[in-house]
Amino acid sequence: MLANVNFEGPGAAPMTPSPLRKAVQKVRGLFRKSPEQAYVDAILRKIERGGGHSTLGPNIRDEEYTRGKAVEWLRRLVEDAGLKPEHFCVEYGCGSLWAAEPVLGYLQPGKYYGLDLTDQFYEFGRQRIGDLLAEKQARLAVITPESLREVAALRPDFIFSRKVLAHVKDDALPRYLTNIASLMNEKTVTVIDNHPLIGADGQMTGREYDVRDLRPHLPANVDAQQAEFAIVMRLKH
């Protein structure tokens, strides 16, 4: 086709886009969905069609399995990471509150704050465990600059993010990690679900991301290590 023919010859420099083309590209960029919004839209469309998801929506694929995994996750947080009932705990990517349910049962009232990309995800959970949320004085919010500042000011003892990293695209990874790091203080323990694997070099890495790939996107004062069940982050002292 003529549109693909280079009339300048194979050695010619690429043509500079015209002002009109630059304007069109800029407008397209304004309306391009972020990876996070694209994910939300895809999940909600799937739920509307009646499709099952492992942790999101009113009807998940295997409730017994999901509940069992949530209880096991709480056990690891308590036994391996040191979560205590009096700790103020933030869940980044709380979804439909399946992981939150046993955590809420363990924590003292007022000690849980859940954040996610859309309130539609956690409203599914509110329909299921609304009484528990009220009893435990749980707080829920959409991830925004304002909510991140509010949560950071509460100085979390614990942050966890379960079943989230697997869905974070490469171009959204810096934002995901920056947001979590912005909530941390000198006492915070942050735990990110990342099933461990042993790499070819014998080093422990993760199924979703190698922890070494995460470090360049973290502030210099954040230490990140792959533990036996998750990535654990703390501020360096």
For 33-65, how does the pLDDT look when each residue is reduced to its tens digit (9 = 90+)? 788 888 778 777 887 777 667 777 777 778 899
Give φ, ψ of 99 to 5 degrees.
-70, -30
Report the side by side order of strands in the sheet with 112-116: 139-142, 112-116, 89-92, 158-161, 189-193, 230-235, 222-226
Mean pLDDT confidence for 197-206:
61
The class that CATH gives domain 63-235 is alpha beta
Kindly tell me if the per-residue pLDDT of 181 is higher than 80.
yes
pLDDT value at residue 57: 72
Out of 7-16, 46-55, 99-108, 198-207, least confident range: 7-16
Size of the chain, expressed as the number of residues it contains: 237
Q: Which two tokens stand for residue 214?
A: 């995460």
Out of 137-141, 182-186, 194-198, least confident range: 194-198
Do the beta carbons of residue 126 and residue 150 sit within 8 Å? no
3-state secondary structure of 204: strand
pLDDT in tens, 56-114: 777 777 889 999 999 999 999 999 999 999 999 999 999 999 999 999 999 999 999 99
Average pLDDT, the chain: 84
Do the beta carbons of residue 90 and residue 150 sit within 8 Å? no
Measuring CA to CA, which residue among 234, 104, 72, 66 is closest to residue 159?
234
Domain residue limits, the chain = 63-235
Residue 147 CB partners (closer than 8 Å, separation 6+): 115, 141
pLDDT value at residue 50: 74
Question: Scanning the structure block, which residue is given the tokens 């533990």?
Answer: 227
d(Cα 128, Cα 130) in Å, to the nearest integer? 6
Q: Which two tokens stand for residue 88?
A: 């103020």
Reading phi first (left if > 0) and then psi (alpha if -120 to 50, else beta), residue 55 is in alpha
Most confident of 126-140, 166-180, 203-217: 126-140
The one-character DSSP state at 202 is S
d(Cα 190, Cα 9) in Å, to the nearest integer? 56
Q: What are the residue ranges of helices labelled H in the chain?
A: 19-31, 35-48, 63-79, 100-106, 119-135, 145-153, 173-182, 211-214
